[in-house]
Amino acid sequence: MKPGQNKFRPKRESQKKPLGTDKFDYKYLSRAGLSDKLIKEISLYKNEPAWMLKKRLGAFQVFQKKSLPAWGGDLFGIDFKKIRYFLKPMDQVAQKWRDVPAEIRKTYQRIGIPQAEQKYLAGVMAQYDSAAVYHSLQKNLAKQGVIFLDMDTALKQYPRIIKKYFGTVVPAGDNKFSALNAAVWSGGSLVYIPKGVKVEIPLQAYFRINAPNVGQFERTLIVVEEGGYAHYVEGCTAPIYSADSLHAAVVEIIIKPRARLRYTTVQNWSKNVYNLVTKRAFVYGNGIMEWVDGNLGSKLTMKYPSVYLLGEGAKGSILSIAFAAKGQHQDVGAKIIHGARNTSSSIVSKSISKESGRTSYRGLVKVPKGAKNCKASVVCDALLLNKTSRSDTYPRMEIREPDSEITHEATVGQIGEKQLFYLMSRGLSETEARNMIVQGFIEPIAKELPLEYAIELNRLIKLEMSGSLG
């Protein structure tokens, strides 16, 4: 197949008249709690193929059987009966910005999407509650055969891709939350990069929770064919709620030989959100996967982006930064499985804890028997801002090949008095000096982010430091 050709043709779909009224409203407010009946309703409402409903119902069975993980953070605050599993603000995915309802547009203006789009957005996919409301794709991308769609639309247009890959990287049975996601997923993105196609502009997605007790269960699938390249960027902000919210996303990535993908996330969920995400990539021969992950908000985040190096010469890297303020727990980390010879990986994890905030690094590097000549390096640095702050590391290494080159460094530190005095002797106030030291600490991650995100991350951390965020 020539580069630029997409072997998956869109399926012709008869145009259905959208349900509901013209005025913006939540067209479908699901009741709280989860049942077979609700899942059938969701699937019917979305007009899904029968095989997807079957997958959903199967996953629900698994969800009911699986217990909550016994490790990580405190998950007992989640009341599954009180969560609404499906909300849809609009019936159609708006193709153009002006078609997006004013109310939602205003919300996005506050986050800054339109400006960002003017600059260099390739396509914007925004998730408002459980459904994508806005999606635009630059024409040249479409010409190259690149697919960048919200998952619901993608299921209608490209069912073959989804049927082929859905659940192959993160099966429903992986954990309780991946099962939940498979049962009730809504939204998320499908990205398909055909063979040899290199997309230089970042593909960006924004999403946001905006109602109490709303679950967000987006599902993202990215396939990069041989020699392809893309950078997928997602960021989200969320306002503060009184009730607890659950976010359980699944991201599945397949990187074919010599292909490369970078997946960048900056997340700032409101501080009552449980953010439980399963992200995993399969990388084949000489392919490269890079996760860049920033976690600021949420009550509890449990997220361990994983890379399975499945072909010789494959590379994986996971860069992450976590910030935990009062009452927050960021249980984050990384997993690398060296499933083939001559594979290499790098993990850099940085965390900042403030007041009673708690960060945990939980990592796994696995080199099974037979995976000869592998290299792995792990660096984790924790910065504690107060005496009550807490940081733990759980770095697991399972190395079964003696010729592996493995390095591991870990530091835990506080802002030094000497550093403060030095900066203050140059005219900086104590607050400015602290900010500068913290910004320096996160710099190795910030410099890997697209400029807008780096600025946003720095701004968010500054706000967190000054305590002006609730």
Partner 1 sequence: MSLRILNLKVKVEQKLILSGINLEIKPGEIQALMGPNGSGKSTLACALMGHPHYHISQGRIFLDSRSIEKLPSEQRAKLGLFLSFQHSVGISGVSVRNFLRASLKALKGEIDLQKFLNDLDQEAKLLKMPLDFAKRSLNEGFSGGEIKRLEILQLLMLKPRYAILDEIDSGLDIDALRIVSRGILRAQKLGVGVLIITHYSRILKYLQPDKIHVLIQGKIIKSGGKDLAKKLEKTGYEAWAK
H/E segment holding residue 152: helix 151-157
Q: Considering the complex, what minimum distance in angstroms separates the CB of residue 424 from partner 1?
A: 4
Q: Which residues touch 407 (CB under 8 Å, ≥6 apart)?
A: 376, 377, 378
Strands 131-137 and 147-150: unpaired
CB of 215 to partner 1, least distance (A): 37
CB closer to partner 1 out of 204 and 349: 349
CA separation for the pair 297, 236 (Å, rounded)? 10
Q: Does 423 bind partner 1 (CB under 8 A)?
A: yes
- Minimum CB distance to partner 1, residue 421 (Å): 6
95 or 429: whose CB is closer to partner 1?
429
Tokens read off for 10: 């869109």
* In the complex, minimum distance from the CB of residue 443 to partner 1, in angstroms, rounded to a whole number: 3
Instruction: Measure the CA–CA gap between 237 and 225, rounded to whole angstroms.
Output: 31
Q: Which of 35, 47, 429, 466 binds partner 1 (CB under 8 A)?
A: 429
Which residue's CB is nearer to partner 1, number 374 or number 423? 423
Q: According to the binding rule CB under 8 A, does residue 421 interact with partner 1?
A: yes
Of the pair 59, 433, the CB lying nearest partner 1 is at 433
Shortest Å distance, C-beta 417 to partner 1: 8
Binding-site string for partner 1 from residue 434 to residue 453, where x marks contact by CB under 8 A and - marks none:
--xx-xxxxxx---------
Q: Is 410 a residue that touches partner 1 (CB under 8 A)? A: no
Position 416 contacts partner 1 (CB under 8 A): yes
Residue 235 token pair: 């960021």
Which residue, 337 or 433, is less far from partner 1 as judged by CB?
433
What DSSP line would sit under 79-135, residue for residue?
-GGG-B--EES-SS-BSSGGGS-HHHHHHHHHHTHHHHHHHH-SEEEEEETTEEEEE
Where in 116-155 is the site for partner 1 (CB under 8 A)?
none
From CA 256, how far away is CA 264, in angstroms rounded? 19
Alpha helices by DSSP H, listed for 46-78, are 50-65
Pairing of strands 358-367, 273-283: unpaired
49 vs 444 by CB, closer to partner 1: 444
Nearest CB to partner 1, comparing residues 199 and 457:
457
Taking the complex as a whole, the smallest distance from the CB of residue 263 to partner 1 amounts, in Å, to 23
Closer by beta carbon to partner 1, 150 or else 448: 448
Shorter beta-carbon distance to partner 1: residue 41 or 443: 443
* Closest distance to partner 1 from the beta carbon of 467 (Å): 20
Instruction: List the one residue from 5, 115, 432, 451 that touches partner 1 (CB under 8 A).
Output: 432
Q: How crowded is residue 212: how many other Cβ atoms within 10 Å of its Cβ?
A: 14
- In whole angstroms, give the CA distance from residue 43 to residue 356: 42
In whole angstroms, what is the distance from residue 277 CA to residue 362 CA? 14
Q: Does 319 bind partner 1 (CB under 8 A)?
A: no
Looking at the Cβ atoms of 403 and 432, the one nearer to partner 1 is 432
**Which one among 424, 451, 455, 463 touches partner 1, defined by CB under 8 A?**
424
C-alpha–C-alpha distance, residues 141 and 260, integer Å? 17
- Dist CA 114 CA 263 (whole Å): 21
CA distance 359 to 383: 10
Near partner 1 by CB under 8 A, which window of 61-69, 176-184, 337-345, 421-429? 421-429
Please identify which residue in 29, 57, 428, 469 interacts with partner 1, judged by CB under 8 A. 428
3-state secondary structure of 468: coil
Within 285-304, the residues that bind partner 1 by CB under 8 A are none
Q: Is 439 exposed, middle or buried (0-12, 13-18, 19+ CB in 10 A)?
A: middle
Q: Residue 354 CB, nearest distance to partner 1 (Å)?
A: 18
If one asks whether residue 426 binds partner 1 (CB under 8 A), the answer comes out as yes
- Binding residues (CB under 8 A) for partner 1: these are 416-419, 421-430, 432, 436-437, 439-444
